[in-house]
Structure 1
Amino acid sequence: MASMDKKIMTITTDLVIRELNQYGITNKLEQAHFLAQADHESAGFTKLSEGTKYRFGRAKAIWFSRKSAIQAKQDELKAKDDDFCPQPWLFNTVYGGRMGNEKNGTNDNDGFDYRGGGIFQLTGTDNHLAFMNWLHKSGKYLDLALDKVDEFVKSEEGAIISAIWFWQVNSIGIAARADNVTKVSVAINGGTIGLEERQKLTEKYKKELGV
């Protein structure tokens, strides 16, 4: 499993658009929404792995459903809200036991290993497995095994293709072509975190693509 955060500076909008066209996403408005979400999720196409440094205060706000567990760990460590949560404990706590993680036990680090990756921050064993199966059915990367998918989605090509798979399998293009940033954001992120920036980025890319 890849365990280090990876950064890459070579993903460009032209490269993303080329891949979008190749996979049949040719509508300019839809492309603008895709680019905006990818830009936001990957910090301007520079971050292809979810960062591991979360402060207790922020972690409790982001993973509200796991707030009690995070608070218990904070109390145990006598930590402050500004202190960083320990890893891999945090991701195993907030991602473990769901999204297909930890089906073989509770100490296998699935939550940490299958944390967000790629320009859409693909998360969870189920998503990684479904993406791999989609690739295989398409006759691509037939030798790619599940325990290597997390590395692939953090590569330049895998980062983009995994995002396209997620976009298509969840029919996000419908909301994008309706120009509904909120619905697109919820489909990508599961909520409206960063909605204002996502809206600004959408307008930016709409202008760039002449929409």
Structure 2
Amino acid sequence: MSNVPSGATVTLDLLRRLFPTGRELPAFAAAMSARLSAAGINTPQRVAAFLSQVGHESGGLRVWVENLSYSADGLRKTWPQRFRDAATANAYARQPEKIANRVYADRMGNGPEASGDGWRHIGRGLIQLTGRDNYQRCASWAGKPLEAMPAWLETPDGAVASAVWFWSVNGLNRLADAGDLEAITRRINGGLNGQEDRAFRYAFASEALGISPVAVA
């Protein structure tokens, strides 16, 4: 490990190399440069792990607001307990606000469907922050009112800050040091969805940062 650089920062050139189709890359570079180091995401291993995960979650820094424009069939496959019959699914299909209010109702701190909490607290940020409880916890950390969170999370600064907050409160630097990419993915995703892409992005980011990917023994 003596030949591995001890520090790493995110630059615009790095983001352009890793995410050539990304949007608002100068703003993302500025936000990451300002926020990652303060959270201890400041070694090549940690930066590579962070970028691989947010890169996957955001489709290469292209999308950081949840897309809920599901078809009726998609609704029944994704949330079979919420859409038990075709008639209900057809009544909600391709209506993101209605879908969010139904599928996120009465959980994650959200109120019932009629409250509108599901739509107000859809997944936003580079690590899809979802639900009133998560929004409130992140708001308290950021020193912002809950009502300001949806708009802020849709900005590059808010999208990065919320991902940094999630990374920190879940202890992901320790897992990045160990090279335990699967454990990081499980903390973020709850499973291993997209793991092949995450692993590819991790290897690519590691190469760009001048290191070999850390592997779990």
Shift in Å, 1:203: 0.9
> Structure 1 residues 70 and 77 mapped into 2: Cα distance closer, same or farther (>3 Å)?
closer
Q: Does 1:68 align with 2:81?
A: yes
Query: RMSD value over aligned CA atoms?
Result: 2.3
Identity, % of aligned pairs? 28
Q: Which residue of 2 aligns with 1:101?
A: 110
Q: Is the 8 A contact 1:17 1:31 kept in 2?
A: no
Q: Which residue of 2 aligns with 1:153?
A: 153
Q: Which residue of 2 aligns with 1:32?
A: 48
Q: Which residue of 1 aligns with 2:193?
A: 193
Q: Does 1:119 align with 2:126?
A: yes
* Worse overlay, 176-185 or 31-40: 176-185
1:39-188 to 2 correspondence within 5 Å? 39-61=55-77, 63=78, 66-72=79-85, 74-76=86-88, 84-102=93-111, 105-136=112-143, 144-188=144-188
* Deviations 1:160-184 (CA, angstroms, capped at 9, x unpaired): 0110001001112222221122111
Q: Is the 8 A contact 2:126 2:159 kept in 1?
A: yes
Unmatched 5+ residue regions in structure 1?
1-7, 137-143
> Structure 1 residues 68 and 75 mapped into 2: Cα distance closer, same or farther (>3 Å)?
farther
Task: Count how many residue pairs are aligned between Structure 1 and Structure 2.
Answer: 188
Q: Is the 8 A contact 2:76 2:89 kept in 1?
A: no
- Give, in whole Å, the separation in 2 of the partners of 1:58 and 1:203: 32
TM-score (normalizing by structure 1): 0.79
Shift in Å, 1:118: 0.9
- Give, in whole Å, the separation in 2 of the partners of 1:204 and 1:157: 24
- Give, in whole Å, the separation in 2 of the partners of 1:53 and 1:22: 36
